[in-house]
Amino acid sequence: MKKLATVFVAIVALAFAACAKKATPDEVKKAYAKLVELQKAANPAPVVENPAVKINGDFAQKMQALQAAQNEAVKAVDAELAAAKEALPKAKGKKAEAANAAAAAKLDEEFAAKKGQAGAPFAPQFAGLNKAKADALKAAADAAAKAEADAKAQADKDQAAYTDKAVKDRTTKAKVDCQVKAAKLDEFNKCK
């Protein structure tokens, strides 16, 4: 008789278990979203430095070095101009002063052309640096976009796998409701 009672209780328990309301896929998705939220809170992702900041800093240093080299080349021409003006004979009288002023103006004109020639070789280098910087920024942006797309695809795949497993395991609505209400990851995992 005890055996019959035990079998009857087991059958009734199975009947109640079979009749327990099953969670819908949408409810399971909410539980998965809660799981992801709790996992992020329990294990925060490390802060990743924006690669654009590093690229801009690196190229700013290169630009400053190139600008300094260009300034040195122009300073050398300015020093040469100052020395040439000092070499002009000292004028006494209005005619001599006018001649000196004309000679100084001619020197200024000549050395302006020399300044242009001294700075000209740096223009392609500046253009090359700007292009390299733009290319590096674009590559960094493309890599970030690809990583984000890959992460989203993986998250979607993980969610689909979680939902499929929950449906196959016939997860109950009560368990899903418990999981959605959980405030910590431990509470989420204890839901039955």
Q: What pLDDT is stored for residue 150 in this prediction? A: 93
pLDDT: which is higher, 166 or 129: 129
For residue 42, give the nearest of 187, 178, 191, 179 by alpha carbon. Answer: 187
Amino acid type, 112? A
- pTM beyond 0.75, yes or no: no
pLDDT tens per residue across span 146-176: 988 998 998 888 888 888 888 788 888 888 8
Mean pLDDT value across the chain:
79
Answer whether 172's CB lies under 8 Å from 19's CB: no
What is the percentage of the chain residues whose pLDDT exceeds 90? 5
- Where does the pLDDT of residue 21 fall: very low under 50, low under 70, confident under 90, or very high at 90 and above? confident
